[in-house]
Structure 1
Amino acid sequence: MKFRDGMWLPAEGKRLEYAEEVYSITEREDGKGISLLCPTRKVLQRSDSLNLSTLTIDIAAPFDGAISVEATHWLGALNPGPHFDLYPAGKPDKSDVNIKTSEKYTTLSSGSLSATVKTADHDFDIRFHATDGSKELTSLLNRSIGLAYSPATSNPMQTADMRNLDHYIFTQTTLSVGETVHGLGERFGAFNKVGQAITLWNADGGTSSDQAYKNVPLWISSRGYGIFIDTPDKVELEIGSERCCRVQTSVLGQRLKWYIIHGPTPKEVLQKYSILTGKPGKVPSWSFGLWLSTSFTTNYDESTVNSFLEGMKGRDIPVEVFHFDCFWMKAFHWCDFVFDSKMFPDPKAQITRLKKSGLVKKVCVWVNPYLGQASPVFKMAASKGYLLKRKNGDIFQWDLWQTGMGIIDFTNPEATEWYVGCLQDLFDKGVDSIKTDFAERIPTEDVKWYDSTLDPKKMHNYYAFLYNKIVYEALQDRFGENEAVLFARAATAGTQRFPVQWGGDCESTAEAMAESIRGGLSLGLCGYSFWSVDIGGFEGYPPPWIYKRWVAFGLLCSHSRLHGSNSFRVPWTVDNDDTSDQGCSRTLSKWTALKARLMPYIFSQAQESVRLGIPLSLRAMCLEFPDDPTSWYLDRQFMFGDSLLVAPVFEESGNVEFYLPKGKWTNFFTNQTKQGPGWFKETHNFDTLPLYVRENTVLVLGKWHETRTVYNYNEGVEVCLYYTTAGAKTTVVDSEGEASGVLEVGEDGQLLDQGFLQGAWHLTKNGRSASRPSK
């Protein structure tokens, strides 16, 4: 929201008051914070302290490298929940906090990060900087913290009745010359957010607008810090779009709290952010295989499902997970958890037969948190208070998406228990994973939650966290802590704990593929390790070339799923079963096999990504190369783990332009090398793309003929050394994610420890084997 009309005037209908000076500072009793009393005019004489607003600014050191800032107007205002679930693994016990006061300044230090408050000359000036003095990160200067009334008041007496007044709190942190801003959830627009106005409000808006399914109040700066805004409420940001040199954050209410987190690298920012909101959950090795969906509105039954899977097997395309989308239930009955008996008379037996056939190992089904009134279950749920109500006691209903649908009220423990019971019944039938769709359009007006202490506006975004947490923990309870897998669409801060997230409804175009990549990169910069996309695009009928280019991109995401809207995504339906080497079927087969071979690398990198709270894929280039200014603008390529660079192709011709940072890079397919930094152009068929290996990499690959996702990652592997020096190493894990051993290059260029490797493994240097070894 813009509060000003240019630099000089308030916006029409807005009254603004700013913290003009720091009048006094009080130190907290625990020695970990300070409280600033900030009048909204300079107090030059005693009478200036009357008839004016003040802002209280609390600055604290929660843990090393992080400082919280909370601005409050009226301290007596309630602060209802829900609140983000912070410190899920516990708050750090020790912190290095120091407060120093001089004649003109007070400095609060929290490990590597400090905040210095100017106390002289009636100025308002707060600087955030590295404790060692090496760098200033950002600041709060004149007219940078304030409150606003809308409509504008002309007399303080008007604030006696706030029912028709909106009250905002805002802050404006400075943007330095050349500084870029990234993150804020899965955003599909420009990767660098400077110049954009962004509203953090979950919406079902597809992938081609400024709306987002996953709004996360965290942004990362190219100057080595991040800011996490600690509220699930609607947050509005003007990122260099009201004042070009500032990021404005505003909320409707009496208080605004955020944390500034010092890296100095973006990886370190995310690692410290994970202390606040939690690390991503681990996912099992089988989940990295290919997922095949029925698609959304298509007709299917058991014979259709079997024909898909038999067709995939006949074309050498292993499928790890088969997904039943919405119409496993009757139309108008979503989501009552009852299989359509006409199409699926015995679902448990069908799933048993499906797995026994060997065509697929796992089964996933679609659910949402809504309930259509046509289902007999609706009356039961309504009578027991399981559904969200209006203020007058009616069930909240509308005809958007599902006729007369209600919304499960997860603040009611009994409703949650019932919902989990429905999930457990699915698990009894053989279901292994859940696609948790929707949860964005949660109403905020004329609603009353079972827990009436909660603020409906805050529940809008937070509902996605509750919904996914409940389903994820139900899966953990049944299958084990590290065996739970979702395919989730809506998210907010903390939802990275419940993987996997996917990118939502994209069109079947090259432009939509680029949008999806930008979305995945932005979400990854909010601490999400695992992300997927509808391969081929969701909406429409992808032409063969789009499908094949998307296959190459999709199989190099952490998770890979074929899914569409009103058309199937099995390859032979896309190109009339072109059996040539460059047809859809052969292309999909090759990329699926490549991902299987990469599993020793992928699954090892997955464990490290979870440990650090960083993305596996898509990993923004700036995470690996933060000192390269170009890396902060690259939104058409990404890293898969720390060693593989991927540049998807967006042209039917195969022409592609990409950037290699400093160093020697080896083409995975040809072993040819290029020296960065620089831009390069290549042309690719459908079975390759720019896939480059970083120098000093020890890359472990599965056997040439390996097409499975789950196997012994220590046996018969190829260990590839890419221009390594002494000390280069990699951790090899088993299919459960446990470390088997470390391969490290010694001074003589040989591997120091090989004892844990099994079978006929072999070593290659400066690339991989160019041809399949004889059996």
Structure 2
Amino acid sequence: MATLAQLILALRSVGVRQSLQTLGYTLAKERLDRRYARSRHPTPVRQPGRLLDVKTKENSASFKFEHAYLDITIMADDLARIAWSNADSQSAKPPLPYAIARQNWAPVSAAIHQEPEQVEVHTPRLQLSVRGDGSLTFSSADGACLRQELPPQVIGKGWQSRALLRKTERIFGLGEHALAFQLRSHTFQLWNTDPGGSYGPSADPIYMPVPVYVGIHDQGSYLIFYNNYHKGQISFDALEEPEPRAAVLFEAGDLVYYFIAGPLENAIERYTELTGRPGLPPLWSLGYHQSRWGYRSAAEIQEVLDGFARHEMPLSAIHLDIDYMLGYRVFTVDTERFPDLAGLIQEANALGVQVVAILDPGVKVDEGYDVYRQGVNLGAFCRLPNGKLFKGIVWPGWSVFPDFTHPKVRAWWGEYYQRLLDQGVAGFWHDMNEPTSFSAWGKLDPPLSLRHHMEGTDGDHLEAHNIYALQMNRAGHEALQRFRPQKRPWLISRSGWAGQQRYAWNWTGDTESSWEALRMTISTVLNMGLSGFAYSGPDIGGFSGNPPAELYTRWFQMAAFMPFFRTHSAIGCAKREPWVYGEPYSQIIRQFLRLRYRLLPYLYSLAWQNSQTGHPIIRPLFWGASKISDDTLPLFEVDDAFLVGEQLLVAPVTQAGCESRNVTFPTGVWLSLWDDALYLGPGSFEVPTSLETIQVFVRAPGILPTAEGNSLQLNLYLQTENERYIPSHPSQFVLYSDEGEGYGPWRTDTWEFTQDGNSVILRWDSRGEYPFPYSGVQVRLHGAQLEEAIIDDVAVKYTADTIEIAQFHRAKLRLR
């Protein structure tokens, strides 16, 4: 039952009338769900049974068991599709290809050997063995065992898959969750869920769990993705268990999954080739965003814009929460409180600020409201089994919900985006799309018996729930492509599923305002990245609560390195613009804001790399480790630090009053971003900190590009140890540049430097038609001072560590 605090919050948020409506809805939903549960008769658990027949082709094999069928397709040298279906055709339910971006793959020649007790499938990078009882073994090309699976089990209309885990194996991924970074010893619910306005560590499930994870152990690594969006559960035994296992249970649908052999970077690249990669986002989206549930009028928005200008704090976007709507009706504007939204947006644009508007899927039941009326006429809304419209409760009161699993509904919904685009809105924020319907107790979900079109295959909400937001995001993305083809679509969504990265960013939702939630954010964003979702970030300071100045500052410092960089808070919370805490906090926050904008050349290039490879922007410290070893094991235990691309290691402060923190370094040389202090990895060091900074380190040898006014600064981090220069392998960085919007000309600038003792050779190569966007280049050395600089065979002037030059092809630098 709801707690007293939850009931009081509900009354404050929606009022007495709507709270009573919610109570009535909850009782009706309970009756529907009880009736639905009775219709799903329990059935015995069955194994596949004896193997009866095998048929093979060039790159596939089909197996007929007593109670199940198995189809294996080798899609690439390192990618196998495994599809189990129930021999009872009435229970078979293959997945719709919502998550799959690439359907056609080049033919792969796999060697398939049929033996009396098993069938072997070999490619240059993968070995797969199928035994007569339905158990499977996946191995690397050299025979190292990557994963062993027990025979799956048919459970009613669903399946359970079980696998043995190695003693050393660590598990990461599963989309968005709050339980832990390393997933062993936990059970996770696979059901997109609104946790109810506030959540902290150990909440499960939350908005966007996805059945994809990576396993890494002493023999290698792999990625596995279950293409089943029905309600499910996945568990991993603890490390100390004598015979540890992983088990995933889906309540319905065929057991279809994809196995990808490591190493990790290759597996993520292949997975995002399968499920899609984000397009390059507009440059403004990588800047700072300001938001609040409670900016109730155009005057308040203008006041915030003026505040950023007055405090000399850069701002790229301001978000409009549900306050801008007329009675919370989606796609409307309250013209009393926002009398000239287009004019307000023009004023914001003149300051370099874009405007983002929130959209919820719930449509108010109101015959005078055209979106509702037209949707009813089209048959666009979800219905109950008796054919009646389903009505739930969200912010407008009684509401209906579009069935985004129908193509005509996605197209119809998308038409309304033009209303806000015509007023200048630059991007959209999809909320409440798990989907959520308020409830006095229990889960905030629609009834499981709700009917969905499912592209003409018909299904219930048990099947459609987890892909509801994915299809809403698809509808919005396609609308932006249709109505604004010259610009890049930008959406952010609270919920989604596999493949979401093609359509929208994500944020961590309604976190509580606590130190524990700050630390939890790091794990959440890291696991999202390892699940294919590169663009994520928190509500700075937490959504629900009033963080003290130190907590907000520490959260802000960490978030300055996250892809999505936004302050947002709940209605009723104290104001949280970056200057409200006064000094010294305002100055500290201003410095990190400016640092974010200095880092945009680096971050934008990482975004471009992600569009090409799918590699996450925020990465765990073990990124690059192909397996677990004695040297790499400590990196797998770190859940409070992260890499930004290849070059930066960020170690946030996650405790109050912290004067130092332990930092674990991967193998190599690392220099402090602040003072070039040197640390050698692998190893852990206690590093001092202060309120003014968090610890950030740069990998050496390495190149970190930053914007310094109109110039580009190439920061060269050199390998030194005890004042001795260490010869190093070549270090390279590719800088991507374009207009920051649209699909026009582009360019890449590749810098590569080699250090041999006290001699450094730096080469510059350019491609593309976009003009170099900087007025000049500064080359600045870190960890050394210059003795001589020769640019394209001409000696040039320099300071102790910096050269200011125009474009060049080759620079030879001699160090003191």
One fold, TM greater than 0.5? yes
In the aligned structure 2, how far is the partner of 1:111 from the partner of 1:537? 48
Of residues 443, 448, 451, the one that matches 1:448 is: 451
In the alignment, which residue of structure 1 is the partner of 2:183?
Answer: 193
Change (3 A) 1:690 1:768: farther
Cα displacement string for residues 350-377 of structure 1 (whole angstroms, at most 9, x for unaligned residues): 2223323x2x431111111111225723
Kept in 2: contact 1:644–1:694 (CA 8 A): yes
Choose which of 758, 761, 769 in structure 2 pairs with 1:750: 761
Residue in 2 that maps onto 1:57: 70
Structure 1: state its 5+ residue gaps.
1-12, 40-53, 149-165, 707-711
CA distance in 2, matches of 1:261, 1:501: 25
Deviations, residues 597-624 of structure 1 (Å, cap 9, x unaligned): 111211112111221112112x222323
CA distance in 1, matches of 2:675, 2:696: 10
The letter for the 2-side match of 1:349 is G
Match of 1:237 among 225, 234, 239: 234
Structure 2, unmatched stretches of 5+, are 1-41, 436-444, 720-726, 741-745, 767-771, 786-798, 805-816
User: Aligned in 2, Cα 1:146/1:718: closer, same or farther, shift over 3 Å?
Assistant: closer
- In structure 1, the partner of 2:280 is 282
1:255 aligned residue: 254
C-alpha displacement of 1:343:
0.2
CA offset digits 1:620-666 (Å, max 9, x no partner): 22323454122222211111111101111112213432211121111
Q: Distance in 2 between matches of 1:191 and 1:762?
A: 39
Q: What pairs up with 1:424-463 in 2 under 5 angstroms? A: 424-441=418-435, 443-450=446-453, 453-456=457-460, 457-463=462-468
Whole-Å separation in 1 of the counterparts to 2:375 and 2:478: 22
Counterpart of 2:167 (choices 149, 171, 177) is 177
Conserved? CA contact 2:93–2:253, under 8 Å: no
Report the CA distance between 1:200 and its aligned residue: 0.9
Q: Which residue of 1 aligns with 2:441?
A: none
Partner of 1:323: 319
* Conserved 8 A contact 1:731-1:739: no
Query: Does residue 146 of structure 1 match 2:153?
Result: yes
Shift of the 346–169 alpha-carbon distance from structure 1 to 2, 3 Å rule, reads same
- 1:768–1:325 distance in 2 versus 1, CA, 3 Å: farther
> For 1:487, which of 484, 489, 492 is the aligned residue?
492
The question of whether the paired residues in 2 share the 8 Å contact of 1:194 and 1:240 is answered with: yes
Q: Which residue of 1 aligns with 2:39?
A: none
Contact between 2:295 and 2:301, CA under 8 Å: does it hold in 1? Answer: no
2:404 maps to 1:376: no
Contact preservation (8 Å) 1:649, 1:656:
yes
Q: 1:225 and 2:222 equivalent?
A: yes
Contact 1:207 1:515 in 2 (8 A): no
Report how far residue 677 of structure 1 moved.
1.6
Aligned to 2:442: none
Separation in 1 of the partners of 2:48 and 2:242? Answer: 17
Q: In 1, are the aligned partners of 2:703 and 2:731 still within 8 Å (CA)?
A: yes
Query: Relative to 1, partners in 2 of residues 1:465 and 1:79: Cα closer, same or farther, differing over 3 Å?
Result: farther
In structure 2, the partner of 1:70 is: 83
Supply the AA of the counterpart residue of 2:635: S
Equivalent runs, 1:523-538 vs 2, <5 Å? 523-538=528-543
Inter-partner Cα distance in structure 2 for 1:172 and 1:246: 7
Contact 1:64 1:113 in 2 (8 A): yes
Aligned residue in 1 for 2:10: none
Query: 2:277, 2:610 within 8 Å by CA — same for their partners in 1?
Result: no
C-alpha change, 1:484 and 1:116, in structure 2 (3 Å) is same
Alignment of 1:495-506 (within 5 A): 495-506=500-511
Letter aligned with residue 362 of structure 1: Q
Q: Tell me the SS of whatever aligns to 1:473.
A: helix
**Aligned partners of 2:101 and 2:499 also within 8 Å:** no
Deviations 1:20-40 (A, max 9, x none): 65x344123x3222233445x
397-406 vs 417-426, which deviates more?
397-406
Instruction: Report how far residue 254 of structure 1 moved.
Output: 6.3
Give the structure 2 partner of residue 728 of structure 1. 731
* Equivalent pair of 1:18/1:145 in contact (CA under 8 Å): yes
Q: Letter of the aligned partner of 2:577 in structure 1?
A: V
The amino acid of 2:505's aligned partner reads V
The change in CA–CA distance for 1:686 and 1:334 in structure 2 (over 3 A counts) is farther
Instruction: Render the CA deviation track for 1:676-733: whole Å, top value 9, x for unaligned.
Output: 1222223423331110111221111111xx4xxxxx7xx4423323328352111122
| TM-aligned CA deviation for residue 72 of structure 1 | 2.6
Structure 1 contact 117–127 (Cα < 8 Å) conserved: yes
Alpha-carbon contact 1:665-1:675 (below 8 Å) kept: yes
Aligned-pair distance for 1:320?
0.8
Answer yes or no: is 1:405 the counterpart of 2:429: no
Structure 1 residue corresponding to 2:782, chosen from 762, 766, 770: 766
> Which residue of structure 1 lines up, in the alignment, with residue 687 of structure 2?
682
2-side partners of 1:511 and 1:288: how far apart? 26
Of 662, 686, 698, 1:657 maps to: 662
What is the letter of the counterpart of residue 423 of structure 2?
Answer: K
The equivalent of 1:516 in structure 2 is 521
SS at match of 2:525: helix
SS at match of 1:227: strand
Partners of 1:237 and 1:248 within 8 A in 2: yes
Query: Counterpart amino acid of 2:259?
Result: I
Q: Cα RMSD over matched residues?
A: 2.7
Q: Equivalences for 1:302-341 in 2 at 5 Å?
A: 302-331=298-327, 333-335=328-330, 337-341=331-335
**SS at 1:623 equivalent:** coil
Give the stretch that moved more between structures: 440-449 or 637-646.
440-449
Residue 197 of structure 1 and its aligned partner are, at CA, apart by: 1.5
Contact 1:600 1:732 survives alignment (8 Å): yes
Contact 1:84–1:494 (CA<8 Å) still a contact in 2? no
Contact 1:387 1:395 (8 Å CA) reproduced: yes
Whichever residue aligns with residue 641 of structure 2, its letter is Q
Amino acid across the alignment from 2:139: H
Tell me whether 1:367 sits opposite 2:371 in the alignment: no
Structure 1: distance between partners of 2:135 and 2:393: 52
| Local SS of the residue matching 2:398 | coil
Match of 2:25 in 1: none
State whether residues 93 and 254 of structure 2, in contact with CA within 8 Å, keep that contact through their aligned partners in structure 1.
Answer: no
| Matched letter for residue 300 of structure 2 | T
Aligned 8 A contact 2:508 2:536 in 1: yes
Partner of 1:572: 579
Structure holding more strand per residue: 2
Q: Is the 8 A contact 1:590 1:687 kept in 2?
A: no
Does structure 2 retain, via aligned residues, the 8 Å contact 1:187–1:519? yes
The CA distance in 1 between the partners of 2:111 and 2:739, in whole Å, is: 43
The residue aligned with 1:475 is 480
Against the structure 1 CA distance between its residues 719 and 275, is the aligned structure 2 distance closer, same or farther, given a 3 Å change threshold?
A: same
Q: Secondary structure at the match of 2:425?
A: coil
1:545 aligned partner, one-letter code: E
Aligned residue in 1 for 2:54? 26
TM-score after normalising by structure 2:
0.81
Q: Answer yes or no: is the 8 Å Cα contact 2:81–2:258 preserved in 1.
A: yes
Contact 1:67 1:110 in 2 (8 A): no
Q: Which amino acid aligns with 1:145?
A: P
Matched letter for residue 338 of structure 1: T
Secondary structure, in 3 states, of the residue corresponding to 1:369? coil
Q: Is the 8 A contact 2:411 2:479 kept in 1?
A: no
SS of corresponding position for 1:76: coil
Q: How far did 1:425 drift?
A: 1.1
Structure 1 residue 387: Cα displacement: 1.6
